[in-house]
Structure 1
Amino acid sequence: MRLAPLASRVAALLLFTAVLVGGAPAPSQDDVLRRVADGLESADPDAVLVDAAGRVEIVLFGQGGMFRRAQAEHVLRDFFRRYPPSRVAFSEPSSSDDGQSATGRYWPRSGGAPLNVRVLHRVVDEDWELSSIRIDQRPVVRTSGR
């Protein structure tokens, strides 16, 4: 009888169904930061905001605020039009109890000094959610000093 091959096919089908129903594993901290970096480097607002909730803070050169996702896409699209990217690089993220932040550099294609970038992700219902993007010409994290 051919029950063994049938049983293995049923088992494989059940495992496949369990994976589909259970969904993919939650993205890691590195995954969510990599998606933002890749989105910035490819000038793709949708890719940058893939982990954003309904509202996200966008601050460019000291101006901005909280935006609905659709508005944030327009703000980023305009930024990319004015400052097309050449390269983006982030340092290691720093973690806190409720999230992670990472600082990095955004090199415009036009040359000149790189822009400073800071992104903040928060943990919401065990998932990482993009909550803030800040881009400025000066460092976006204040350093102590006089």
Structure 2
Amino acid sequence: MTTKILVSACLMGHAVRYDGRAKPLAHPALERWRAEGRLVTICPEMSAGMPVPRPPAEIECGASGKDVLSGAARVFEITGGDVTAAFREAAQNALRLAQETGCTHALLIDGSPSCGSGFIYDGSFSGSRRDGNGVTAALLKRAGIQVFSDREIDRLVESLATLI
């Protein structure tokens, strides 16, 4: 069976980010995987009904996606709105899609309060970053899905090569 990969929709050129933009990732492996039918695309936030564009959101200071999942932290918009429930729903939607389609790996945009897997923003809306996982990345990892950031696509290629 061919390994399926859950991928952030913004990386595939869909204008779904909070600012109404995409962040397309150009890599020959992505084109090959698309042609092979291995990619399963999702924007977790949109799957939970969040609009595009939408106010920037960050996990509160000092916390991570794992803390949001456990109820120990929240996700706030720059406007002060609490969007924790939407981010939890987004993570559940992404996990459900990954499981239903047989995804064992995920390629997610880094920095996002949903998809960040190497870094997230620190909750101060100052542009400062820190190591950590977003809510979706944390839930996927907890479920045993191997998560890679857009900066780690070559590592993902290597990981998949060992499965052949």
Pair in the same fold by TM > 0.5: no
Determine which structure has greater relative contact order: mean sequence separation of CA pairs < 8 Å that are 6+ residues apart, divided by chain length: 2
Which is greater in Rg? 1
The two structures have a TM-score, normalised by structure 1, of: 0.25
